[in-house]
């Protein structure tokens, strides 16, 4: 498969979406694709038109007479009128993160700033709020999702400060607009940071030949030009490079991304957030951000992380010592110190030596397209779906893929998703789902079929070899597809409750759930085959050793995760905007105390993109892991395990479909049939059963 060749599982010509629209409409579904802009001028025109039309609809809400005030003309109309500009912003945000042309990315960045400023201003339209408040004073009798939308709308106005005097509201609005501008600059600096680093072949001793034989990594002097910001470059070096100096240089480059630009911006972001929280009556930004989440306050989130951190202390210490002993053996230095650039390498060595697992050799079993189709077949079977490759009317990159999702039983089209899976210059450099069209029920009764894009950075295929994924990368593929399914299977009536629009400490649950499938032998046997000899499957004993190796190193993995979560919460637990601590000092101290010290002179926190978007919310990964592990027990205890169709149907209906249209605690209880427990998660990471945190 060549790098530019769009791979498709279907040998027949791809069908356009127009051939599915009538069938969708007959089933009550509106099926659309985003109308992507292709010039900077078109981007601006789309955003300006969307905002103008939304403003006109907001004006109508503001001018309602007492006899025309009702749920449909206020609460529902507010959700409806914001839908088109949000769709425009979704497209433009994707363009900002993925478009090959810098002029398009730059224009999109500026427009996102303008959109966010406008969006902040919406909360402070006193005239619109007066109509909403007038409806609230009628004490409406609502139920179900409509009642939830009503309550959340009033809560959002309260959290924006609409009950405060005008002068205080105006100041909060000004601060929030300033915050959105600075945050967008912070994100843009991370996306633009490249982290180029040059190595000779000798300096890359230990790396797999499949990586080293890629011609596009070599410069004119036969040196390797790697990018610390490209995750698979970084991880391949950190897990395999035999020379410590090579690992140190790569880690240093990774932890230096955007350092010159983002430290001052982050200090300003934290100062603004603390000011806003204080003016709204919250002790800290952590308390403000966690209020609508499952945790409810910063103290509970902190307690959860600290108890997990303490529970992992002995396991983490033992694992580091095992790694250090391997370093002593390899270097001959009895006083060897394990550094932050060592842990991935020696964890990999441990898997090879003590568990006889070479993760690089397993790549042969996971060529990208084969893994993708295996995943599709797994979830088609489990959730009663079909995935069909379609013709993409517009491609922002040549190897883009587009798929239609349909219900297998009724053949009803449900939605669509794009796949942009390989790295390139200027592209978002991690792994994420980007929402494009949110599911919702329109006024005509048709349900809007969602559309999302998975933006990933898997190993690039070459002219003579497909992209080969590691087992961890397959886990990432399943994880991100979990986000996509969460969006695509939604049945929420209102867009604000659709799909992944759930509390941030629950949003990872459906995706982390799907990671379990790639640890199951029966699932892997359906698609994990050596691409050079398809008769070869991964032996069962290797999967068992993979599980044992995972448990042997999971303390290190989670302590690293907890260091990020504790760093995030500590930075956002400041109560005085004039006493915001030095972010670099705090970050480096916590990383050293909870995990391992950062390379001297580096600034990991400058490229920690979760600080905008997951701010005061990184704890949600571990929190969601705990819930996902409990949900997974339903499959583990089923006779057909991870192919139990009845359990899959329940997962689709009780977890994916509702979104946030009901309290997620109700969804968890409906799926489990019992109160949730943290014990399955504790067992999975080697901690004796107890009840820390949640």
Report the alpha-carbon distance of residue 87 to residue 72 in Å, rounded. 21
- pLDDT tens-digit series, residues 310-343: 999 999 999 999 999 999 999 999 999 999 999 9
Q: Name residue 197's beta-bridge partners.
A: 226
Place of tokens 């303008």: 114
Residue 4 has pLDDT above 50, yes or no: no
Three-class DSSP labels, 296-362: CCHHHHHHHHHHHHHHCHHHHHHHHHHHHHHHHHHHCCCCCCCCCCCHHHHHHHHHHHHHCCCCCHH
pLDDT attached to residue 688: 78
- pLDDT tens-digit series, residues 271-301: 999 999 999 999 999 999 999 999 999 999 9
pLDDT attached to residue 464: 83
Distance from the Cα of residue 300 to its chain's centroid? 23
Mean pLDDT of 131-154: 97
Q: What CA–CA distances, in Å, run from 261 to 185, 297, 588?
A: 9, 31, 18
Lowest mean pLDDT among 24-28, 621-625, 647-651, 689-693: 689-693
What backbone phi and psi angles, to 5 degrees, belong to 184? -65, -40
- Of 263, 259, 253, which Cα lies nearest the Cα of 341? 253
Report the alpha-carbon distance of residue 631 to residue 641 in Å, rounded. 12
pLDDT attached to residue 690: 56
pLDDT band at 191 (very low <50, low <70, confident <90, very high): confident
pLDDT band at 526 (very low <50, low <70, confident <90, very high): very high
- pLDDT tens-digit series, residues 440-496: 999 999 999 999 999 999 999 988 889 999 999 999 999 999 999 999 999 999 999
Report the alpha-carbon distance of residue 555 to residue 609 in Å, rounded. 24
Q: What CA–CA distances, in Å, run from 76 to 145, 493, 657?
A: 11, 10, 20
pLDDT band at 195 (very low <50, low <70, confident <90, very high): confident
DSSP-assigned letter for residue 218 = B
Residues whose CB falls within 8 Å of the CB of residue 329, separated by 6 or more in sequence, listed in order: none
- pLDDT tens-digit series, residues 656-685: 999 999 999 999 999 999 999 999 999 999
Q: How many residues does the chain have?
A: 694
pLDDT attached to residue 419: 98
Q: Name residue 68's beta-bridge partners.
A: none
Report whether 458 contacts 428 (CB < 8 A).
Answer: no
Residue 360 has pLDDT above 90, yes or no: no
**Strands 385-390 and 451-455, bridge-based pairing:** unpaired
| Structure-token pair, residue 260 | 């010159």
Report the alpha-carbon distance of residue 498 to residue 679 in Å, rounded. 30
Residue 429 has pLDDT above 90, yes or no: no
Q: Residue 145's CB: how many other CB atoms inside 10 A?
A: 18
CA-based torsion, 520, 526, 532, 533: positive or negative: positive
Report the alpha-carbon distance of residue 642 to residue 667 in Å, rounded. 20
Which positions are annotated as active-site residues?
480
pLDDT attached to residue 5: 41
pLDDT attached to residue 11: 55
pLDDT attached to residue 3: 43
pLDDT attached to residue 283: 97
- pLDDT tens-digit series, residues 233-265: 999 999 999 999 999 999 999 999 999 999 999
- Of 102, 103, 104, which Cα lies nearest the Cα of 36? 104
pLDDT attached to residue 692: 44
- Of 374, 372, 384, which Cα lies nearest the Cα of 644? 384
Q: What CA–CA distances, in Å, run from 474 to 98, 370, 372, 435?
A: 22, 11, 9, 22
pLDDT attached to residue 384: 98
């Amino acid at each position: 498969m060549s790098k530019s060749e769009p791979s498709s599982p279907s040998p027949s010509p791809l069908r356009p979406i127009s051939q599915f629209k009538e069938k969708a409409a007959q089933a009550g579904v509106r099926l659309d694709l985003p109308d992507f802009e292709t010039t900077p001028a078109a981007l601006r025109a789309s955003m300006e038109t969307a905002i103008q039309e939304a403003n006109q609809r907001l004006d109508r809400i503001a001018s309602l007479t007492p006899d025309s005030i009702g749920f449909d003309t206020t609460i529902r109309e507010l959700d409806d009128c914001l839908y088109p500009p949000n769709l425009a912003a979704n497209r433009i945000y994707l363009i900002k993160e993925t478009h090959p042309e810098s002029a398009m990315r730059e224009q999109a960045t500026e427009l996102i700033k303008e959109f966010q400023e406008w969006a902040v201003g919406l909360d402070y339209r006193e005239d619109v709020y007066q109509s909403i408040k007038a409806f609230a004073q009628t004490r409406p009798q609502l139920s179900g999702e409509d009642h939830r939308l009503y309550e959340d709308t009033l809560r959002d106005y309260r959290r924006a400060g609409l009950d405060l005097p005008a002068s205080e509201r105006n100041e909060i609005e000004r601060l929030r607009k300033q915050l959105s501008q600075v945050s967008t600059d912070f994100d843009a600096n991370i996306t633009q940071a490249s982290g180029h680093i040059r190595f000779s072949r000798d300096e890359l001793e230990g790396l797999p030949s499949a990586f080293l034989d890629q011609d596009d990594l070599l410069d004119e002097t036969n040196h390797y030009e790697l990018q610390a910001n490209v995750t698979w470059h970084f991880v391949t070096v950190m897990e395999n490079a035999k020379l410590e100096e090579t690992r140190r240089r790569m880690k240093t480059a990774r932890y230096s991304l955007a350092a010159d630009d983002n430290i001052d911006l982050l200090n300003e972001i934290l100062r603004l957030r603390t000011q806003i929280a204080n003016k709204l009556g919250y002790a800290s930004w952590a308390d403000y951000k966690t209020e609508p989440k499952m945790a409810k306050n910063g103290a509970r989130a902190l307690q959860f992380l600290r108890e997990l951190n303490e529970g992992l202390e002995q396991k983490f210490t033992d694992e580091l010592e095992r790694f250090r002993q391997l370093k002593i053996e390899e270097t001959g230095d009895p006083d060897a110190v394990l550094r932050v650039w060592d842990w991935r390498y020696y964890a990999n060595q441990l898997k090879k030596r003590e568990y006889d697992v070479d993760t690089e050799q397993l790549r042969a079993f996971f060529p990208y397209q084969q893994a993708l189709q295996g995943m599709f077949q797994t979830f088609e079977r489990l959730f009663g779906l079909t995935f069909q490759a379609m013709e993409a009317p517009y491609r922002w990159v040549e190897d883009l893929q587009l798929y239609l999702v349909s219900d297998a039983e009724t053949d009803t089209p449900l939605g669509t998703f794009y796949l942009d899976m390989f790295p390139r210059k200027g592209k978002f450099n991690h792994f994420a789902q980007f929402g494009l069209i949110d599911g919702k029920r329109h006024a005509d009764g048709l349900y809007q079929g969602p559309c999302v894009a998975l933006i990933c950075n898997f190993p690039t295929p070459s002219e003579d070899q497909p992209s080969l994924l590691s087992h961890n990368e397959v886990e990432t593929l399943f994880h991100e597809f979990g986000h996509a399914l969460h969006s695509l299977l939604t049945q929420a009536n209102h867009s604000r409750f659709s799909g992944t629009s759930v509390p941030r400490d629950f949003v990872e649950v459906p995706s982390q759930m799907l990671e379990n499938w790639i640890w199951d032998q029966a699932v892997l046997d359906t698609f994990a085959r050596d691409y050079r000899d398809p008769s070869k499957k991964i032996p069962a004993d290797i999967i068992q050793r993979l599980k044992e190796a995972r448990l042997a190193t999971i303390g290190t993995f989670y302590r690293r995760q907890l260091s990020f979560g504790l760093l995030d919460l500590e930075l956002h637990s400041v109560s005085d905007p004039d006493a915001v601590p030095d972010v670099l000092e705090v970050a480096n101290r916590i990383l050293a105390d909870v995990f391992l010290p950062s390379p001297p002179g580096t600034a990991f926190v400058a490229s920690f993109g979760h600080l905008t978007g997951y701010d005061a919310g990184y704890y949600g990964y571990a929190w969601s892991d705990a819930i996902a592990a409990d949900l997974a027990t339903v499959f583990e205890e089923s006779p057909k395990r991870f192919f139990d169709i009845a359990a899959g149907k329940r997962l689709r209906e009780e977890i994916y479909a509702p979104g946030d249209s009901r309290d997620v605690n109700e969804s968890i209880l409906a799926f489990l049939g019992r109160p949730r427990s943290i014990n399955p998660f504790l067992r999975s990471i080697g901690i004796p059963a107890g009840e820390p945190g949640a």
